[in-house]
Every structure is written in C-alpha cells, then in structure tokens.
C-alpha cells in the first residue's frame, strides 16, 4: 500500500506516514516503549531523592498512555532501575542504579540486546561477515550509536530539565 494522490487531508496524512517513496517509516528507530522508559526515568530522576512519582501524574507529564506506561515501569522495576510501592503513599522511585543508568542501558533493559543488523549479533548469524563490504559500515555505525547512548546518564539529562531555559527576548 503506497501513498495516495495529494489533494485531500487523508492523502496528506498518508503521504506523511509513508513518505514520498511509498514506504512506511523506518525499521531503524527505537520503540515507543524505549522512548517512554527514557522519559519516565528522566522524570523520576528530576524529582527529590525520596519523592515517589504517581503513575497518573507521570503519564500526563511525559505524555504517555497510563496503561502502557504501567507496563514500561514494570520492565524498569524488573531491571532494578526503579522500585514500586502500592498504597496511598506508594508510587515509583528511581534507584541509585537508575540515576546512573545510561540511555543505552535503558534501551537494553526494555528491548534486550539489540543490533543495527543481524550480522552484528554474536555467533554465526551471517555467513557473509568476512566477505561483505557493508559489514564494517554496520560495525562502525553500531559502535557510534552505542558510544553516544552510553555517554549520557539519566541523572545528567534530569539535571538539564531542572535548569531554567533561556528566555527569548523580543526586540
């Protein structure tokens, strides 16, 4: 199914979703679950040290569906980055390990180990690794991506949310 001819709102939306090539989106993107996990971790790290975040308040603050966010937070709890407590004083609390977590470690906590291409998985995942001219490109791209994602911690990003943003002055 490709894009429809332009002219009405539906075709504009289709063009936007599928692009001019008629192909839908990109396989090379993080999942919505990872995106919400990173947002939730930054939100929790920006709170005072023992201040628990409530699910409803957090879902609104990070613009995530409450039921989906609940599942994401369960994954973060299983990964040992966050704890949850039920009851009137309950909520979600980021652990010290969660504050130190890198964006890469959050991605792996949610999705498990991931690779840009199947040839980058350990073992005999691709018989062409040794002769494929593209393999070194995939290796370099994977290393560059991981380098960036490992260079930023949740605490570092949370500190940026606490800083006042520069105000634009109109002349």
pLDDT in tens, 5-39: 444 444 444 444 444 545 554 566 789 999 999 99
Q: What is the pLDDT of residue 18?
A: 45
Stated pTM of the model: 0.76
Q: Cα angle vertex 152, ends 41, 95, to 5°?
A: 35
Which pLDDT tens digit goes with each residue over 36-78? 999 999 999 999 888 999 999 999 999 999 999 999 999 999 9
Asked if 84 and 77 touch (Cβ cutoff 8 Å), the reply is yes
User: What are the counts of helices (DSSP H) followed by strands (DSSP E) for the chain?
Assistant: 8, 2
Angle in degrees, 0-180, between the axes of helices 103-111 and 32-45, rounded to the nearest 10: 130
CB distance 48 to 163 below 8 Å: no
**Under CATH, which architecture does the 27-112+152-160 domain have?**
Orthogonal Bundle (1.10)
Mapped onto helix, strand or coil, the DSSP state of residue 111 is helix
């Amino acid at each position: 199914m490709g894009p429809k001819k332009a002219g009405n709102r539906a075709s504009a939306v289709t063009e936007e979703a599928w692009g001019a090539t008629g192909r839908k989106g990109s396989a090379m993107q993080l999942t919505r679950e990872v995106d919400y996990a990173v947002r939730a971790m930054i939100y929790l790290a920006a709170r005072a040290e023992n201040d628990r975040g409530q699910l409803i308040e957090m879902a609104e603050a990070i613009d995530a569906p409450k039921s989906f966010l609940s599942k994401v937070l369960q994954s973060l709890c299983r990964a040992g980055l966050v704890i949850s407590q039920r009851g009137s004083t309950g909520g979600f609390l980021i652990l010290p390990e969660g504050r130190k977590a890198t964006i890469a470690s959050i991605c792996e906590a949610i999705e498990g180990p991931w690779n840009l291409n199947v040839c980058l998985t350990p073992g005999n995942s691709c018989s062409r690794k040794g002769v494929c001219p593209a393999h070194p490109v995939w290796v370099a791209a994977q290393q560059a991506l991981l380098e960036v994602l490992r260079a930023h911690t949740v605490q570092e990003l949370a500190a940026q949310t606490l800083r006042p943003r520069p105000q634009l002055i109109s002349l």
